[in-house]
């Protein structure tokens, strides 16, 4: 029996493949440490074989993707100056292959399939955590937090954040009804519960900001493109002024106090200081991709001990730019920050200038989430991470997607998106 190519690789017509593929990918990302190679091989099996179906359509013209590969290429080149070349080589190959899979997904998954696929995936991830998860004691702040089936409450909080965001998007951006509307409600409630249970201040605050942003954009999109520019510029200036005023008036400490945190962010400011000192040792190109947190090296061993990390693994500087500076130096920070700014500006520009662009509406919101979290987490720096996948998916759509005309919700669902070339 022959299967039509469109069933697998035609965006808008391949929902029966795309939605489960996205959902399973999220599960693989969430529990790759728990299930090991099985989860990683399943992730590769979902995307790489599509090249054999129609390599021209699936791979597209990679000339426009060169800027997207820049950071992964730098990570791979760091093998030549890494203090632990074997670790940098393995990790950079893993990272590069995840980028390739994400760009394949860009070519075959439309944004609606991504959204409902994430709803299904987050739902499965959270249910698994609720069934097999546990509470963990944090010796730094003396509290017990629900970490689910993860090794960190912040990762559980990240998935809960994504669950709330895509549930909002499914109903209020894509106008889902019946099955997916009900699923959005259920996953939204699960996400809210897990967000409260894990007590991750980072996840709660970033989720609140992004949901508020998405609601604000709904108001902006009711205006004409010309009026949107004025409102966005004015709103952006107002937000900056309020943020600066909040810092000086003590609003930050007040908000942290609600979550039982202090101005040191439970020791993160000290960790950042240690990371900056480490980055100064090799300021231009760093010591190699993922070559710092290696067992047997004196500095990471000291930090593991100070922060009660008995496993001596799975730790980082809790800041994307400091972690990058240590591993890939100033060169890595410039490349990564440049990519992130390009994604943010590119999707925001499409949201403002296009009459209607649901794709950029969602992907800009996700990019904002990743940007805010980048100051306290490293969601886009490691392979087999949902943050990395979404980062490169947003970048790929920016490089290939056409602007979409305004359509009603039922037309949007009934008519597949045009195939990008």
What is 64-90 written as a DSSP string?
GGTTTTHHHHHHHHGGGT-SSHHHHHH
User: What pairs with residue 143 in β-bridges?
Assistant: 138
Query: Which tens digits make up the pLDDT trace of 59-106?
Result: 877 778 889 999 999 999 999 999 999 999 999 999 999 999 999 999
Check residue 169 and give its pLDDT. Answer: 96
Residues of the chain with pLDDT under 70: 1-3, 139-142, 243-244, 246-266, 401-421
Would you state the pLDDT for residue 116?
96
Concatenating the DSSP letter of every residue in 111-152 gives HHHHHHHHHHHHHHHHHHHHHH-EEEEETTTTEEEEEETSS-
Question: Residue for token digits 């549930």?
Answer: 167
Rg (CA), the chain: 21
pLDDT digits (tens, 9 = 90+) for 191-240: 999 999 998 888 999 999 999 999 988 888 888 887 887 887 777 777 77
* Residue 317, in any domain of the structure: yes
Report pLDDT for 256: 61
What is the DSSP pairing of strand 134-138 with strand 143-148? antiparallel
**Residue-range definition of the domain harbouring residue 87:** 71-104+267-401
pLDDT at residue 419, rounded to an integer: 40
* 278 falls within a domain: yes
pLDDT for the residue 221: 87
- Is 366 part of a structural domain of the chain? yes
Residue 414 lies in a domain: no
Q: Are 135 and 182 in contact (CB under 8 A)?
A: no
Quote the pLDDT of residue 415: 40
C-alpha span between 30 and 35 (Å, rounded): 10
- Please give the pLDDT value at position 138: 73
- Is 372 among the domain residues? yes
Asked if residue 6 is part of any domain, the answer here is no
Q: What is the pLDDT of residues 166-184, one digit of tens each?
A: 999 999 999 998 999 999 9
Task: Flag whether 198 is in a domain.
Answer: no
Measured N-to-C along each axis, helices 15-30 and 386-400 cross at an angle, to the nearest 10 degrees, of 140
Is residue 307, in this structure, part of any structural domain at all? yes
Question: Considering its fold, how many domains does the chain have in total?
Answer: 1
């Amino acid at each position: 029996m022959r299967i039509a190519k469109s069933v697998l690789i035609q965006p808008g017509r391949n929902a029966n493949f795309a939605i489960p593929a996205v959902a399973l990918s999220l599960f693989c990302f969430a529990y790759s440490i728990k299930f090991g190679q099985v989860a990683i091989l399943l992730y590769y099996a979902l995307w790489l074989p599509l090249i054999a179906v129609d390599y021209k359509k699936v791979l597209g013209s990679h000339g426009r993707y060169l800027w997207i590969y820049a950071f992964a290429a730098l990570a791979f080149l760091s093998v030549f100056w890494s203090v632990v070349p074997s670790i940098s080589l393995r990790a950079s190959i893993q990272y590069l292959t995840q980028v390739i899979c994400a760009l394949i997904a860009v070519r075959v998954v439309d944004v609606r399939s991504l959204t409902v696929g994430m709803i299904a995936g987050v739902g499965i991830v959270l249910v698994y955590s609720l069934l097999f998860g546990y509470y963990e004691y944090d010796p730094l702040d003396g509290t017990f937090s629900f970490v689910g089936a993860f090794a960190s409450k912040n990762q559980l909080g990240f998935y809960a954040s994504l669950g709330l965001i895509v549930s909002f998007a499914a109903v209020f951006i894509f106008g889902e009804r019946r099955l997916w509307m009900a699923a959005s409600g259920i996953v939204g409630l699960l996400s809210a519960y897990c967000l409260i249970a894990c007590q991750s201040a980072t996840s709660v605050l970033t989720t609140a900001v992004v949901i508020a942003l998405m609601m604000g954009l709904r108001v902006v999109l009711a205006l004409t493109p010309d009026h949107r520019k004025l409102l966005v510029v004015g709103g952006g200036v107002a937000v900056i002024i309020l943020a600066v005023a909040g810092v000086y008036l003590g609003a930050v400490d007040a908000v942290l106090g609600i979550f039982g945190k202090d101005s040191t962010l439970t020791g993160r400011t000290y960790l950042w200081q240690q990371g900056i000192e480490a980055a100064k040792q090799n300021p231009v190109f760093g010591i190699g991709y993922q070559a710092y947190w290696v067992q047997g090296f004196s500095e990471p061993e000291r930090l593991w001990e100070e922060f009660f990390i008995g496993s001596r693994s799975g730790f980082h500087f809790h800041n994307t730019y400091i972690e990058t500076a240590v591993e890939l130096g100033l060169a890595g920070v410039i490349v990564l920050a440049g990519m992130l700014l390009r994604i943010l500006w590119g999707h925001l520009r499409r949201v403002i200038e296009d009459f209607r662009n649901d794709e950029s509406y969602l992907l800009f919101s996700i990019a904002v989430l990743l940007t805010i979290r980048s100051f306290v987490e490293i969601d886009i720096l490691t392979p087999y991470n949902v943050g990395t996948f979404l980062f490169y998916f947003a970048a790929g759509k920016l490089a290939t997607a056409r602007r979409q005309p305004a359509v009603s919700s039922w037309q949007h669902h009934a008519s597949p998106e045009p195939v990008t070339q």
